Structure 1
């Protein structure tokens, strides 16, 4: 079971009953929550948590999600969600890729790409990334 790209940041996801919709599988909106959780945990690992964002008056805000749902997840499934930073202009924009797979058989359930823009928290307007973002995110960049 290999990943699409080398050296992923990975979180484990357990599909709970609250994740299941009327069709009997994980609701598509829940996948977006998982993507957000994975991106945040990766940022935290890189030293850029919510406290740092507030201190710097900057944040990386989602401007676009592209999601390919490839197979369904069901209650009780144990999943692995990986992320990589794959594009970064070192000014305003950054792109992450994601891959979600079922742990026991390696079936890929989802591939996604999310584009973020750096904003000033106090105004909500686009603002250049501070040096701390450049230093924190740079080691995680994977050229894909």
Structure 2
């Protein structure tokens, strides 16, 4: 696969009938939900699931999505969505990149970048990342 960066974390997806909009292709809101799913699964793989977030009273919350929709996905398409952690300040901010590919023809359907900020769950306010976040997310950092 022609991934933009090395060593991606990848999830498999299939465009379902309910993902299709009035224009006959996957709705843009569905792509956003896929980005969230991929980021969560990667975080879980790194040992940072919702239970751990609650225990630490911290979470990584989305503050910005930048999405380039490059080609349409259609009902039944088998897709792969990759993510990489490409930047973080080890205090508050972290950035992920995403690439959505249709393997049967190698077409990239989407490229995206999401910025997250660490928040304290109990207050919703920005709060410094705990050591567990540094230990979990740090090794996944990719130059990007």
Q: Separation in 1 of the partners of 2:60 and 2:134?
A: 12
Equivalent residue for 2:42? 42
SS in 2 for 1:122: coil
Q: Point out where structure 1 has 5 or more consecutive residues left out of the alignment.
A: none
Equivalent position of 1:31 in the other structure: 31
Q: SS state of the match for residue 74, structure 1?
A: coil
2:63 matched residue in structure 1: 63
Q: Distance in 2 between matches of 1:64 and 1:101?
A: 22
Aligned partner of residue 115 in structure 1, secondary structure: strand
Distance across 2 between alignment mates of 1:100 and 1:130: 31
Moved over 4 A (4+): none
TM (norm. structure 1) is 0.99
Structure 2 stretches lacking a partner, 5+ long:
none
Q: Deviations over 1:1-56 (max 9, x none)?
A: 32000000000001000100000000000000000000000000000000000000
1:132 paired residue number: 132
Residues 51-86 of structure 1, C-alpha deviation per residue, up to 9 Å, x if partnerless? 000000000000000000000000000000000000
In the TM superposition, residue 103 of structure 1 has moved relative to its aligned partner by: 1.7
Task: For residue 143 of structure 1, report the CA deviation from its aligned partner.
Answer: 1.1
Match of 1:54 in 2: 54
TM-align CA RMSD: 0.4
Q: Secondary structure at the match of 2:86?
A: strand
TM-score, normalization by structure 2: 0.99
CA distance in 2: counterparts of 1:58 and 1:101, whole angstroms: 32
Aligned length: 144
Q: Distance in 1 between matches of 2:83 and 2:115?
A: 13
